[in-house]
């Protein structure tokens, strides 16, 4: 639990034990008053990567950029391209809420920003709740995503693996393959609150690639209290769970939250190393390491900066995978501020499990 949560807990006393939602509300108000209350800001880019390392850049929740602050989004993808060789950029992961209201204008802005990566750095995208339905209301699974990011744009790239077998013309559920030297990876991108049959397909994809380190990106998986979303246990106390949206009611509850994905997908395999999601407000940061039944640690990470000024102040997460094959150095950096945040929640190291 982070320091702002502890302060909120002290203020709320015994009420917190009864209602984690009250804690979340208190934390949100504190961060709204000072969005950098817990920050340890340092001027300049993160240190140069070590020889033999490579970088994965993570873009969470660009919805406000697509709606009002396009210059922030453009600066992010431009910086990634400029750093392509210097940081050995392997790929970019977008964690969903690409737009705020699923409108043509906002999708056009997202295309302008992401197109800067075309032919430069591969990128893999997942959808958030704001990318569905009229006005981004997530009442069903209708989206303009496939019009502006059509399957044909990606299917001939060397990193493209495939899409959900029941929707062969759509990109909402996809997988991608890349390698750096002799290290091979699978990125699995799943829709907001994945349907049960999508999870069936995802299990088949992962099982077919046991020699690849698997990374899951999906919009809603972890909550800001360092636990997975768990509707069965917490219900509405963990706000913004996929089960609480209209898309769940419209489908008879055919959605999966983080705990369900852990049990029905991630923990069943021997090659997952990492999950990433955005979506959650409060301080927008959380992480958890859980052992699978086979005893392998899987790191799970929430990262979301949309609460910062100007829709997120250009912050992105950089994952430096080191040459030792085990260590990942995590840095949060904003190219528009030219600052990095070295607080304990923004600058840390992970040890990933071996594959095979």
Which of 229, 237, 64, 70 lies closest to 136, judged by CA?
64
- How many angstroms separate the CA atoms of 250 and 266, rounded? 26
Q: Is 232 helix (H, G, I), strand (E, B) or coil?
A: helix
pLDDT classification of 285: cutoffs 50, 70, 90: very high
Alpha carbon of residue 307 to chain centroid: 15
Element holding 105 (H helix, E strand): helix 104-115
186 and 219 assigned to the same domain: yes
Residue 228, φ and ψ in degrees, nearest 5? -75, 150
Q: How many CB atoms lie within 10 A of CB 8?
A: 22
14 and 141 assigned to the same domain: no
Q: What is the pLDDT of residue 34?
A: 87
26 and 114 assigned to the same domain: no
Asked if the model's pLDDT at residue 166 lies above 80, the reply is yes
Q: Is 123 helix (H, G, I), strand (E, B) or coil?
A: strand
Specify if 198 maps to a domain: yes
- Determine the structural domain holding residue 262 and report its residue range: 40-351
Asked if the model's pLDDT at residue 342 lies above 90, the reply is yes
Specify if 118 maps to a domain: yes
10 and 108 assigned to the same domain: no
Specify if 76 maps to a domain: yes
300 and 315 assigned to the same domain: yes
The beta-strand segments (E) located in 190-305 are: 213-217, 272-277, 285-291, 297-303
Cα angle value 288/268/140 (rounded, 5°): 75
What's the whole-number mean pLDDT along residues 108-113? 98
- How many angstroms separate the CA atoms of 3 and 224, rounded? 13
Asked if the model's pLDDT at residue 270 lies above 70, the reply is yes
288 and 214 assigned to the same domain: yes
Beta bridge partners of residue 42, listed in sequence order: 340
Asked if the model's pLDDT at residue 199 lies above 90, the reply is yes
Percent of the residues in the chain that have a pLDDT greater than 90, as a whole number: 90
CATH number of the domain that 169 lies in?
Answer: 3.60.21.10
Rg (CA), the chain: 19
Mind listing the pLDDT tens digit for each residue in 25-76? 444 444 567 899 999 999 999 999 999 999 999 999 999 999 999 999 999 9
Mind listing the pLDDT tens digit for each residue in 84-105? 999 999 999 999 999 999 999 9
Q: What is the mean pLDDT of the chain?
A: 92
Q: What is the pLDDT of residue 32?
A: 60
Specify if 356 maps to a domain: no
Give the burial class of 127: count Cβ atoms within 10 A of its Cβ; 0-12 exposed, 13-18 middle, 19 or more buried. Answer: buried
Specify if 297 maps to a domain: yes
18 and 149 assigned to the same domain: no
> What b/e string do you get for 268-301 counting C-beta neighbours within 10 Å, with b at 16 or more?
ebbbbbbbbbbbbbbbbbbbbeeebeeebebbbb
49 and 29 assigned to the same domain: no
Mind listing the pLDDT tens digit for each residue in 144-156? 999 999 999 999 9
Q: What is the pLDDT of residue 249?
A: 97
Specify if 246 maps to a domain: yes
44 and 30 assigned to the same domain: no
Instruction: Please report, for the chain, how many H helices and E strands are present, in that order.
Output: 12, 15
Mind listing the pLDDT tens digit for each residue in 204-232? 999 999 999 999 999 999 999 999 999 99
How do strand 174-180 and strand 54-59 relate by DSSP bridges?
unpaired
Q: Is 125 helix (H, G, I), strand (E, B) or coil?
A: strand
Query: Structural domain tally of the chain?
Result: 2
Asked if the model's pLDDT at residue 24 lies above 50, the reply is no
- How many angstroms separate the CA atoms of 282 and 304, rounded? 9
229 and 117 assigned to the same domain: yes
Asked if the model's pLDDT at residue 15 lies above 60, the reply is no
30 and 65 assigned to the same domain: no
| Model confidence pTM above 0.75 | yes
11 and 138 assigned to the same domain: no
């Amino acid at each position: 639990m982070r320091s702002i949560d502890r302060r909120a807990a002290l203020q709320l006393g015994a009420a917190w034990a009864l209602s984690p939602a009250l804690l979340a509300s208190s934390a949100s108000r504190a961060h709204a008053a000072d969005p950098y209350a817990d920050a340890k800001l340092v001027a300049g880019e993160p240190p140069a990567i070590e020889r033999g390392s490579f970088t994965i850049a993570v873009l969470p929740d660009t919805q406000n950029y697509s709606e009002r602050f396009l210059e922030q989004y453009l600066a992010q993808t431009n910086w990634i391209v400029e750093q392509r060789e210097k940081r050995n950029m392997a790929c970019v992961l977008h964690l969903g809420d690409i737009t705020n209201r699923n409108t043509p204008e906002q999708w056009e802005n997202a295309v302008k920003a992401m197109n800067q990566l075309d032919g430069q750095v591969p990128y893999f995208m997942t959808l958030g709740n704001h990318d569905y339905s009229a006005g981004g209301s997530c009442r069903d699974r209708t989206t303009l995503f496939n019009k502006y990011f059509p399957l044909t744009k990606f299917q001939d790239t060397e990193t493209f693996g495939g899409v959900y077998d029941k929707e062969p013309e759509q990109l909402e559920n996809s997988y991608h393959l890349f390698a750096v030297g002799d290290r091979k990876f699978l990125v699995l991108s799943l829709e907001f609150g994945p349907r049960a049959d999508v999870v069936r397909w995802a299990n088949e994809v992962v099982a077919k690639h046991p020699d690849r380190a698997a990374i899951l990106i999906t919009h809603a998986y972890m909550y800001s209290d360092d636990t997975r979303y768990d509707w069965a246990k917490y219900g509405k106390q963990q706000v913004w769970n996929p089960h609480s949206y209209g898309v769940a009611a419209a489908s008879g509850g055919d959605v999966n939250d983080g705990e369900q994905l852990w049990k029905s997908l991630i923990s069943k395999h021997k090659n997952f190393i990492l999950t990433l999601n955005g979506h959650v407000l409060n301080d927008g940061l959380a992480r958890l390491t859980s052992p699978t039944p086979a005893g392998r640690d899987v790191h799970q990470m929430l990262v979301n900066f949309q609460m910062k000024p100007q829709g997120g102040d250009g912050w992105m997460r950089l994952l430096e995978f080191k040459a030792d094959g085990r260590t990942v150095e995590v840095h949060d950096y904003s190219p528009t501020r030219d600052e990095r945040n070295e607080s304990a929640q923004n600058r840390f190291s992970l040890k990933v499990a071996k594959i095979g």
